[in-house]
Amino acid sequence: MVSEDLFADPPTDTQEEILQAAFEVLQEEGYSGLSIKRIADEVGLQKASVYHHYSDKDDLLLSFVEYVLDMIESDLIQTSDIDPKTHLEAILDSILLGERASSSAVEINPPSDDLLRVFIQVRAQATHDPDYRDRILAIDNRHEEHLATIIQRGIDEGEFRDVDPNHVATTLSTFILGTFSRRATRTQPDLTPVHQSIHSYLENGVYN
């Protein structure tokens, strides 16, 4: 998952500068306070410079979602050489407990609460905007595909039972999205019961 250091390094180009500015404005003022002018002011550019890269704020936000998704995928893919059970539990622990995976073989960092709050705001636009809906659906599908790939590998290697990997991936994804919402809208939520329930589900229905 994407760590708290999403924009810790200096931007490498103007587009990344604009995405970072959008992230900062969303944290400070929310979706309703976001505008091309506000983003341009934040990054110290003329509005025309922002429009050169993005047609409007929704185009910019959808690009931001893609940017974060690419980072998430990179984080997941780079750990594909570890055993499936360790890999899966590292992902769940980082999300549910907000802890960096402790194994030296795993490099998965927890998403920050700031990032989750921004993500939930962007996701909420999918309830009435088909462009957002299509992009969010694509994100969900790609995330579930990654989970299903890990589960299928566990089946192939004999660590997991002969379950439907897509069914399990959808179940885990639903847990994860619920966790995102609780972490984004509550202060220090206790997700220990959720963590215990999802591991019980895996131990009793998925793992050999």
| Model confidence pLDDT, tens digit, residues 72-122 | 666 555 555 788 998 888 888 877 776 554 444 566 666 777 777 887 888
pLDDT class of 4 with cuts at 50, 70, 90: very low
**Average model confidence (pLDDT) across the chain:** 82
Closest CA to 1 of 77, 63, 91, 65: 91
Residues 157 and 62 in one domain: yes
What average pLDDT does range 164-171 have in this prediction?
96
Residues 65 and 46 in one domain: no
Residues 148 and 63 in one domain: yes
Q: Which residue segment(s) compose the domain that 24 sits in?
A: 7-54
Residues 20 and 109 in one domain: no
Closest CA to 76 of 171, 9, 10, 3: 3
Closest CA to 204 of 168, 156, 150, 157: 168
Given a contact cutoff of 8 angstroms between Cβ atoms, the answer to whether 182 and 137 are in contact is no
CA 189 to CA 191: how far, in whole Å?
6
Residues 40 and 140 in one domain: no
Residues 30 and 64 in one domain: no
Task: Please tell me which residue, 6 or 14, carries the higher pLDDT value.
Answer: 14
pLDDT at 121: 82
The amino acid sitting at 115 is L
Task: Please tell me which residue, 60 or 2, carries the higher pLDDT value.
Answer: 60
Q: What is the CATH number of the domain that holds 11?
A: 1.10.10.60
Cα dihedral 169/146/148/172 (nearest 10)? -20
pLDDT at 1: 39
pLDDT at 80: 59
Residues 83 and 178 in one domain: yes
End-to-end distance of the chain based on CA atoms, in angstroms? Answer: 26
Domain boundary among 35, 54, 73: 54
Other Cβ atoms within 10 Å of 74 Cβ, number:
10
1: in domain:
no
Residues 92 and 163 in one domain: yes
Q: What is the pTM of this model?
A: 0.78
Residues 77 and 154 in one domain: yes
Residues 86 and 48 in one domain: no
Residues 91 and 192 in one domain: yes
What average pLDDT does range 37-42 have in this prediction?
92
171: in domain:
yes
Domains of the chain: total: 2
2: in domain:
no
Q: Which two tokens stand for residue 159?
A: 């660590």
Least confident of 14-23, 25-34, 99-108: 99-108
Given a contact cutoff of 8 angstroms between Cβ atoms, the answer to whether 126 and 136 are in contact is yes
Radius of gyration for the alpha carbons in the chain, expressed in angstroms and rounded: 18
Sequence-distant (6+) residues with CB within 8 A of 51 are: 36
